[in-house]
Amino acid sequence: MKLEKNAEAPAFTLLDHEGRTVGLKDFAGSKVLVYFYPKADTPGCTAQACSLRDAWGELKQAGVTVLGISPDPVAKQKKFADKYGLNFALLADEDHAVAEAYGVWTEKSMYGKKYFGILRSSFLIGEDGRIIETWYKVQPAETAPKALAALGQ
């Protein structure tokens, strides 16, 4: 089930790439850009993460915290963050429960084989915990520009 604008963002608590517990509630009163990506250190996911890293100053100035979520384990998230100097938290959703809550764990197909995985998507969440904007099937390079545009930046 896809989430709509103005819906309450599903709460979550996950481990970040440093092994710290991070919950959406930790950012109450702040804007948060939560983005879901299929797999750390793959071309599209790297382009997306580096784009957000490069836009970090503008996002921070707009009062936005960035959280990336994938089903990768903490160790893989850490390696990815360190390799590309990512300046935001990457969260490990290994059982994909958070992805399911956000409607981004979907059936996919490659070479005729069906499997489940992440639908690259992002969600801008307001200070009140409600969704300002959703982008399902977002292109890697569009994540930061779309969020900044939604904020009037």
Q: What is the DSSP letter of 76?
A: H
- Which of the residues 22, 34, 45, 66 is marked catalytic? 45
Task: Answer positive or negative: Cα dihedral of 140, 142, 148, 153.
Answer: positive
Beta-strand relationship, 113-118 and 105-110:
antiparallel
CA atoms within a 13 Å half-sphere pointing along the CA-CB vector of 35: 31
List, as own/partner pairs, every contact residues 98-101 make where C-beta atoms lie below 8 angstroms and the sequence separation is at least 24, other chains included. 98/10, 98/12, 98/14, 98/69, 99/36, 99/69, 99/71, 101/10, 101/12
| Known catalytic membership, residue 50 | no
Nearest to 5 by CA among 138, 136, 131, 148: 131
**Residues classed as catalytic:** 45
